[in-house]
Amino acid sequence: MVNGQDIELFGYEREALIGAQVEMLVPECFRERHLLHRIAYGSSPALRPMGFGLKLVGLRKDGSEFPLEISLSPVQSPEHPEQTYVIAVIRDVSDRERLEDERNALASTNRNGPPRRRHAGPLCKRPRAGVSSGRDCSGSRRDCRFHREGDNPAARRCQEHSQLHL
């Protein structure tokens, strides 16, 4: 059985997939191993993700490969209880992996880790004299919880914050 998403995802016509071995959708270097795993799964099918902890790769008709996730679910045929079918839910995870790679690249270029949101709330304990806006910042190194930690990025943020209230 083949659905429209499979046709679109792998680039084959429905007729080409019906009755074909699933290994045609697996890169050549993994086909033999995949066949062995498929046979083993058939002897004790269970609901589970396929290749847990592994990066799975699909093969399109045009020869391009793409990362994917697959969940397997065995289903008993009501007409033939001795017959078990396996439903495979396949997801292309190319976009997610691309975004993760971009995030990791950004984090590695920033010595302090991923970019942090600027603090929008009060940074210091004591209200600044003469400020009627209700913002809590004395601008004093003595009163600021971040300044007490010494010269660090948080203290610099507090200095920036106190300058906003001048």
Give tens-digit pLDDT for 71-102: 999 999 889 888 889 999 999 999 999 999 99
Q: Residue range 54-79: average pLDDT? A: 93
What are the structure tokens assigned to 100, written together? 């993760």
Q: Are 34 and 52 in contact (CB under 8 A)?
A: no
49 beta partners:
71
Residue 46 is classified by DSSP as: -
Mean pLDDT of the chain: 75
Is the model more confident about 157 or about 93? 93
Q: Are 119 and 95 in contact (CB under 8 A)?
A: no
Confidence check: pLDDT of 119 > 90: no
Confidence check: pLDDT of 158 > 60: no
Confidence check: pLDDT of 122 > 60: no
| Confidence at residue 53, expressed as pLDDT on a 0 to 100 scale | 83
Rounded to two decimals, what is the model's pTM?
Answer: 0.60
Q: Where in the chain is the domain with CATH 3.30.450.20?
A: 4-94
Write down the architecture of domain 4-94 according to CATH.
Answer: 2-Layer Sandwich (3.30)
